[in-house]
Chains A and B, each alone.
Chain A
């Protein structure tokens, strides 16, 4: 069995080696920044599957979240009725995004269990995936410059201002979903977060919609969340806590403020208060329920470890 730590050899290099050797099997990868092990299935060096990120259940969930399918039990409009090509494209997007994250892991380990010629829904050369990864990173870097680190705020061009634009537009499903999330308050990063999509993909759409004079970009608003985030990053936890508590006094449904409050409390070493904040976040309808649950689990663990040390 081939195995090793990711701090000695990156996942990219592992995949390239396996491709050159034409190896087949299931590569189990655990990153220290994620508790969920991933399994990449390889057939003669080519990537043919990635679970759980791109398995059938996650593809169906993504189709529903993207408004391309109704609930699972809807016989006509549910995920089962979505054309194979659309399902496949969605699977590829999920797999690409997951691999892009995994390529950046510098801790964790991999274990290859060899298997005879396994099959799967994908058929990618690892080199091609790496090129796609580099393209995404380059795009993210470029867009961060033009979109103020993704904090620029898109809003609709006033109805009369864009009327002289020549020719008809062609909008795609992703464009419509971005337009649906635009409210003149959320920045690009917040829109990506709301949609559960990669920020560079949303940023690229926003750029195109701006070029088409549908949207216009406003400078980043330094709101409470941004200020608090900066204070946390600079280690000024009490300052961040004060700002966030003021915000929550008037807007107790502000999930992001609860999330940040938990982070600031952890920074200040008060895990019990962090747990309370993240419970409130989960209660305020956290978009990323798994993240809320993971953070709560981590805070409990840290608190218990601290208690044991004190005892």
Chain B
């Protein structure tokens, strides 16, 4: 076999970039050249390789095969083994943990957090993530024990998460104590203070806390939303509508409450927190009221956004599903409206919303058939 001029040029160009005194590199080049049919370069490279005392066996094999006029069976030099499992520089088990945590793979996340906790620079962030994981699983003692290994006063993410966890499980006094000493200094902590004070009925203080959060971070959608909830409870419908609209404008799919974890120093990732113990319902009720008000005034698209947001917090909420069905039917999206009303019927078969949904669904089916020309 004779190499074409193109192949010879390619092999020669590659050869110029390899150390002629490195037997392993020359043995590799010999293999490549032999496979491409450039026997002259292959033989020269293999000879250079075997001139070294620690020449790879592969180079000798190449010479033997070329001498026997063979054109297959050439071997590569053996690589230096590298571990396939275990730590490798440039990769972070913490980043892997947070990625798995975000993707809803708790077993993977836990394993990676454990590995990251053994690395001094990553330990604090890993323990915080692990504590969140425990809290999400309802393992309160394990979560508290993990947060107990951290300095909650100086670690703003862990402090935020511990306050949120304690509040969600009904330990309001403990949450307030950690929140107030020292005073909050981040937007996330002020936002949490807003919810805590609103929850205890201190709406004026809640309002101030949320304004403090927005002073630090004006684009914080969830603080705008919380402001809307507080304004609604204060009876100021117009301020409530304005704040909620702004929240939806900033991010239509924001989460009212989040856990904060860190995949690497200086970076924060938000994970949605389940707000089922109170504030989620409060927020949901506020959104429903605002949605209904918008619907009554003919602002159908905005009303739809409100109900979408309410369902994002609680996908099975019958009232939100019922009202969204009404909006969708107004928009002549009958199939989607029917799906919502059917869901209400399943969730609340005996209740008033269920029976009203069945009535609406019947007329929607007729209208749907009418519009589709059947």
- Give A residues with C-beta under 8 Å from B: 10, 12-13, 16, 66-70, 76-77, 81-83, 85-86, 88-89, 92-93, 96, 124, 126-135, 138, 156, 159-160, 162-163, 165, 168-177, 179-180, 214
Contacts and interface: CB of A to CB of B under 8 A. Distances in A.
A96 B93 CA distance: 17
Interface in B101-143: 105, 107-108, 110-112, 114-115
A86 B91 contact: no
29 contacts: A10-B107, A12-B105, A16-B110, A67-B75, A68-B76, A77-B57, A83-B78, A88-B81, A89-B82, A92-B83, A124-B85, A126-B111, A127-B112, A127-B114, A129-B85, A130-B108, A130-B111, A131-B96, A134-B99, A134-B100, A138-B99, A159-B10, A159-B12, A168-B18, A169-B25, A171-B28, A180-B32, A214-B14, A214-B17
Contacts of B79: 68, 86, 89, 172-174
B85 A177 contact: no
B111 A131 contact: yes
Contacts of B201: none
Contacts of A129: 85
Contact of A77 (B75, B96, B108, B115): B75
A171 B18 contact: yes
Contact of A180 (B19, B35, B73, B111): B35
A86 B56 CA distance: 13
B195 interface: no
Interface string B84-97: 11101001010110
B217 interface: no
Interface in B1-57: 9-10, 12-14, 16-19, 22, 25, 28, 31-32, 35-36, 57
B264 interface: no
B84 to A, nearest CB: 4
B307 interface: no
The 7 closest A-B pairs by CB, nearest first: A89-B81, A159-B13, A127-B111, A134-B96, A168-B19, A173-B76, A130-B111
A160 B13 contact: yes
A163 B111 CA distance: 46
A77 to B, nearest CB: 6
Nearest to A97: B84
Nearest to A128: B85
In the complex, which of the residues A66, A131, A175 has the most CB atoms of chain B within 10 Å of its own CB atom? A131
Nearest to B106: A13
Given A128-B86, A159-B10, A69 B75 contact: yes
B28 A16 contact: no
Contacts of B75: 67-70, 77
Contacts of B36: 180
Contacts of B16: 163
B74 interface: yes
Contacts of B105: 12
B108 A173 contact: no
Contacts of B280: none
Given A66-B76, A68-B78, A131-B112, 16 more contacts: A12-B105, A12-B111, A67-B74, A86-B79, A88-B81, A126-B111, A128-B85, A131-B85, A131-B93, A131-B96, A132-B85, A156-B10, A159-B12, A165-B17, A168-B17, A172-B28
Nearest to A92: B84
Contacts of B115: 127-128, 131
Contact of B108 (A12, A83, A165, A172): A12
A162 B81 contact: no
Contacts of B95: 138
Given A68-B78, A82-B78, A134-B99, A159 B9 contact: yes
B156 interface: no
Contact of A16 (B22, B57, B111): B111
Contacts of B57: 76-77, 81
Contacts of A138: 95-96, 99
Given A89-B81, A134-B100, A173-B78, A12 B107 contact: yes
B107 A169 contact: no
B92 to A, nearest CB: 9
B360 interface: no
A169 B13 CA distance: 12
A132 B14 CA distance: 33
Contacts of A130: 107-108, 111-112
Nearest to B8: A159
A86 B81 contact: yes
Nearest to B91: A135
A102 to B, nearest CB: 14
Contact of B61 (A70, A86, A128): A70
A58 B36 CA distance: 28
A69 B17 CA distance: 26
Nearest to A88: B81
B81 A168 contact: no
A83 B35 CA distance: 24
A214 B17 CA distance: 10
A89 B84 contact: yes
In the complex, which of the residues B79, B110, B115 has the most CB atoms of chain A within 10 Å of its own CB atom? B79
Nearest to A96: B84
Contacts of A67: 31, 74-76
Contacts of A133: 108
A88 B84 CA distance: 11
Nearest to B31: A176
Contacts of B73: 70
A162 B12 contact: no
Nearest to A130: B111
A67 B110 CA distance: 39
A69 B88 CA distance: 27
B77 A173 contact: yes
Nearest to B109: A134
B35 A169 contact: no
A179 B121 CA distance: 39
A171 B15 CA distance: 11
A174 B78 CA distance: 10
Contacts of B35: 180
A172 B32 CA distance: 12
